[in-house]
Amino acid sequence: MSGKFEGVGMEIGIKDETIVVVAPIEVTPAQKAGILSGDKILAIDEKTTRGLAVDKAVKMIRGPKGTVVKLLILRENWEEPKEITIKRDLIEIPSYKLEFKENIAYLRLYQFFSKTSTDFANAVNEIVSQNPKGIILDLRDNPGGYLDVARDIASWFIEKNEVVVIEDFGNNEQKIHKTNGRSFLKDYPLVVLVNKGSASAAEILAGALRDDRGVKLIGEKTFGKGSVQELQTLIGGSSIKITIAKWLTPKGNLIDGIGLEPDIEIKITEKEIEQKQDPQFDKAMEIINSLAD
């Protein structure tokens, strides 16, 4: 959550009782080795992951810079699993990347760290100064992070006092989180890119933008990680995450275990990835141009 650690650079979780890659992190050993969202991890250093808890898998995959880990990977459409060897490194994750293409702002968010709210304000200032004709917000392979950060970022795009997300604690107990009134970007045409690596706080932001502003989601169905976790600091500097509730979109749709269906579904093939083609981004550019006309 601080944005720095030693390992291979990916978020993992459990889906259908299997350890899977939620998302590889940009410019890390995992991404460079070809790891993709949705990859199933069948073994770690030749030890099966069957019945393995996520925290145990994380401990086995993480390690000092310069050491290696071997992962047995099974990917959709592969007939047989393949072993991929990854050399660990120091992972330093940026908050975002901002580029301007044909007078359209392309803003990619990598995760929702503690520093992302502050960093995002810098991105907003740059966008406003350039006054583009629209914004493409890329949440692909964004595994999430802090709820408050997702709410802060949503507030730049949405009117004040609009619902961002609903925390459902069960027993008819709910807490509603609303935008705080910045809304500097609320009038810019906007589309959002998502895929199966978009999870947690990324799904909250995407769901809020669609429910509150009618923004189109382009890409693939999201991961479906909609649990609320509190970070409790312990004596000695360690901390623990505790799951306390589930997230609902402003219209009351459950995220956990379901995910968000895109408004425009476009899948990217391995061949397109190898050739550095991005039909999801191309479609986003097409839609922004049509909205700006």
Q: Which residues contact 2 (CB under 8 A, 6 or more apart)?
A: 113, 114
Least confident of 76-90, 175-189, 233-247: 233-247
Least confident window among 149-158, 227-236, 273-282 = 227-236
Task: Give percent helix, percent strand, percent coil of the chain, each to the nearest 5.
Answer: 25, 35, 40
CA distance 163 to 167: 11
Whether the CB-CB separation of 190 and 210 falls below 8 Å is answered with no
- Residue 225 bears catalytic tag: yes
pLDDT for res 265: 98
Give counts: helices (H), strands (E), the chain. 7, 18
| CA 177 from centre of chain | 20
Please say if 155 is a catalytic residue. no
What is the pLDDT averaged over residues 250-270?
94
**Catalytic member of 200, 212, 216, 256:** 200
DSSP code string of 47-77: EE-TT--HHHHHHHH---TT-EEEEEEE-TT
211 is catalytic: yes
pLDDT tier at 60, thresholds 50, 70, 90:
very high
Catalytic residue selected from 155, 216, 225, 256: 225
96-292: CATH homologous superfamily? Answer: 2-enoyl-CoA Hydratase; Chain A, domain 1 (3.90.226.10)
Angle at 79 between CA 74 and CA 85, to 5 degrees: 40
Q: Poorest-confidence range of 78-92, 103-117, 264-278?
A: 264-278
Mean pLDDT of the chain: 92
Residues with Cβ within 8 Å of 167's Cβ and at least 6 positions away in sequence, in order, are 174, 175, 176, 177, 228, 245, 246, 247, 248
pLDDT score at 181: 84
What pLDDT is recorded for position 254?
A: 94
Q: Classify 214 in phi/psi space as left (phi over 0), alpha (psi -120 to 50) or beta.
A: left
Q: With bands split at pLDDT 50, 70 and 90, how would you rate the model's confidence at 150?
A: very high
**Which pLDDT value is given to residue 185?**
97
| pTM of the full structure | 0.77
Write the CB contacts of 237 (distance below 8 Å, at least 6 apart in sequence).
none
Give the pLDDT of residue 228: 74
Question: Is pLDDT of 3 > 70?
Answer: no
Compare 127 and 4 and report the one with higher pLDDT.
Answer: 127
**Domain chopping of the chain, boundaries:** 4-92, 96-292
Residue 274 clears pLDDT 80, i.e. is over it: no
Cβ atoms of 91 and 5 within 8 Å: the answer is yes
Q: What confidence score (pLDDT) does residue 1 get? A: 59
The pLDDT tens digits for 170-228 are 888 999 999 998 899 999 999 999 999 899 999 999 999 999 999 999 999 999 998 87
Q: How far apart are CA 223 and CA 247, in angstroms?
A: 13
Which one of the listed residues 211, 212, 216, 256 is annotated catalytic?
211
Q: Is the pLDDT of residue 2 over 80?
A: no
Rounded CA-CA distance 55/86 in Å is: 19
| Mean pLDDT, residues 106-120 taken together | 92
Query: For residue 246, what pLDDT is reported?
Result: 92
pLDDT score at 64 = 95
Phi, psi of 271 (to 5 degrees): -65, -40
Q: Is the pLDDT of residue 12 over 70?
A: yes
For the cut 90, the answer to whether the pLDDT of residue 249 exceeds it is yes
pLDDT level of residue 242 (50, 70, 90 thresholds): confident
Fold held by 4-92: Pdz3 Domain (2.30.42)
